[in-house]
């Protein structure tokens, strides 16, 4: 069933989306892990004399292994280095918090209609969600569950399929350019979370922007087919 898509209105008017499933990125979207991420990539950049600013600009939302492969010296052991960086991230949770309103939104949505789609592996995803005080959705597509990471749409398409939803009936909450590109390539409506400078470009049709989840409200009804019809207002 294809649901009607809301269109952005003028000014600051409230927008309404009706969907069958809701997909979330994690870092920067549900969880603010900026301090840890920047610390780990700074150490990586300093070790190899790399441009830290450029690494941060291109790594957000991308699997760590893809970033290591892109920037590490030609003779580096990419697999071992990626594992080392992953262990560093897993051992650092100071400063990790949930975005405002994230906990209430996750609790208001039916678990069988939501999924996490993250470039982190499952262990790291569990650690960061727990550190932020957020419940992990039953459906989670993490790094090891895909063969191609964001900006490829595989993760979002897989999550929609696991939830039994068509891409046109899904909304994705994302913050990173790579993740936004993945959601758009999957044919899904997309809400960009946060106010970072990278997100100040004009939005395409089927895209919206919110600073956080503080003003998001949810109404859910059970459909005749057993699934859910979810109305999000923001």
Q: What is the pLDDT of residue 232?
A: 98
CA distance 88 to 82: 10
Cα separation, 156 vs 161, whole angstroms: 9
Q: Six-digit token pair at 216?
A: 């998001």
Q: Which of 136, 116, 113 is nearest to 230 (CA)?
A: 113
User: Which pLDDT score, from 0 to 100, does residue 91 have?
Assistant: 85
**Model pLDDT for residues 105-151, shown as the tens digit of each residue:** 999 999 999 999 999 999 999 999 999 999 999 999 999 999 999 99
What backbone phi and psi angles, to 5 degrees, belong to 126? -60, -45
4-41 pLDDT, tens digit each: 444 444 445 789 999 999 999 999 999 998 888 888 87
Active site residues: 25, 27
Structure tokens at 140: 């989670």
Bridge partners of residue 228, in order along the sequence = 222
- Taking only the tens place, the pLDDT of each residue in 163-193 is 999 999 999 999 989 999 999 999 999 999 9
3-state SS string for 137-155: CCCEECHHHCCCCCCCCHH
According to DSSP, the β-strands at 228-233 and 16-19 are: antiparallel
- Confirm whether pTM is higher than 0.75: yes
* Residue that has been written with the tokens 């994705």 in this structure: 172
- pLDDT bracket for residue 43 (50, 70, 90): confident
């Amino acid at each position: 069933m294809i649901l009607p898509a809301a269109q952005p209105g003028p000014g600051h008017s409230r927008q309404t989306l009706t969907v069958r499933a809701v997909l979330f990125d994690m870092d920067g979207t549900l969880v603010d892990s900026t301090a840890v991420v920047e610390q780990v990539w700074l150490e990586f950049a300093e070790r190899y004399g790399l441009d830290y600013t450029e690494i941060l600009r291109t790594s957000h939302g991308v699997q760590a292994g893809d970033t290591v492969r892109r920037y590490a010296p030609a003779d580096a052991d990419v697999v071992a280095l990626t594992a080392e960086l992953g262990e560093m991230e897993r051992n650092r949770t100071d400063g990790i918090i949930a975005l405002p309103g994230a906990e209430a939104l996750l609790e208001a949505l039916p678990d069988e209609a939501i999924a996490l789609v993250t470039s982190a592996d499952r262990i790291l995803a569990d650690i960061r969600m727990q550190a932020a005080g957020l419940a992990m959705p039953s459906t989670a597509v993490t790094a090891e569950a895909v063969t191609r990471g964001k900006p490829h749409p595989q993760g979002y398409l897989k999550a929609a399929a696991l939830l039994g939803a068509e891409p046109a009936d899904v909304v994705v909450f994302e913050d990173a350019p790579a993740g936004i590109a993945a959601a758009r390539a999957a044919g899904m409506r997309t809400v960009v979370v946060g106010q970072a400078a990278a997100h100040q470009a004009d939005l395409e049709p089927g895209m919206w922007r919110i600073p956080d989840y503080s003003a998001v409200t949810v109404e859910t009804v059970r459909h005749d087919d057993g699934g859910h019809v979810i109305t999000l207002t923001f």
